[in-house]
Amino acid sequence: MTTPSHPSRAAWLTLLLAGAFEVGYALSVGGSRGFTVWHWSLVAVVFFLLTLWALSLALRSIEVSIGYAVWAGIGAAGAALLGPVFFNETLTPAKAGWLALIIAGAVWLKLADRPGERTN
């Protein structure tokens, strides 16, 4: 298997879109209340398919280790930040601090994926 070429801006934008779909999936699963509310369950299935589609496109040129970590981080952070807005969940300072660490990690992964720093 060959190493993907340097990821394009479009690949990173597609990965961000996949992350946004992942947030939509996580929130709609929460709204489905264990898949007992049919319209939220249907929305969850749509977001699930969209996130997998966009992630698979992005991973054509972004390494799986980096792409998956960024995608999962976006999903986790987005769901945690929007959970209090949509579901009356709590966001404590400790949770916010750990989310900041996740976001910082995703940013550093992106910065580490620069073309001049790759060793093959």
pLDDT digits (tens, 9 = 90+) for 2-13: 445 677 899 999
Domain presence at residue 101: yes
pLDDT digits (tens, 9 = 90+) for 18-60: 999 999 999 999 999 999 999 999 999 999 999 999 999 999 9
Domain presence at residue 4: no
The domain total for the chain is: 1
User: What is the domain extent for residue 79?
Assistant: 9-114
Residue 8 CB contacts under 8 Å (≥ 6 apart), including other chains: 61
115 φ/ψ angles, rounded to the nearest 5 degrees: -65, -35
Domain presence at residue 68: yes
Domain presence at residue 119: no
